[in-house]
């Protein structure tokens, strides 16, 4: 699998004063010679000053 492109569509929170944040993106992927589009709304959480992926909703 290779990522051809990644585009951030929206962000929410995730600023210096926030402990949570979200990113909506879509990625164009190539898997076994076929191109696919993956769209996800990801949730992140800050712990000890570092951001961690929590989960994501795909459609």
Q: Which of 45, 46, 32 is nearest to 1 (CA)?
A: 32
- What pLDDT is recorded for position 9? 98
Q: Which residues of 10-38 are buried (b: 16+ CB within 10 A; e: fewer)?
A: eeeeeeeeeeebbbbbeeebeeeeeeeee
Domain that holds residue 35: 2-58
What is the pLDDT, as a whole number, of residue 1? Answer: 87
**All residues at 6 or more sequence positions from 59 whose CB lies less than 8 Å from its CB, including other chains:** 39
The number of distinct structural domains making up the chain is 1
CATH number at residue 32: 3.10.450.50
What are the tens digits of pLDDT across the range 2-53? 999 999 999 999 999 999 999 999 999 999 999 999 999 999 999 999 999 9
Q: If pLDDT is split at 50, 70 and 90, which confidence band does 59 have?
A: confident
């Amino acid at each position: 699998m290779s990522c051809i492109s990644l585009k951030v569509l929206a962000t929410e929170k995730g600023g210096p004063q926030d402990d949570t944040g979200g990113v909506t993106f879509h990625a164009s992927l190539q898997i076994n010679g076929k191109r696919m589009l993956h769209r996800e709304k990801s949730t992140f959480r800050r712990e000890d000053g570092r951001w961690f992926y929590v989960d994501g909703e795909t459609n």
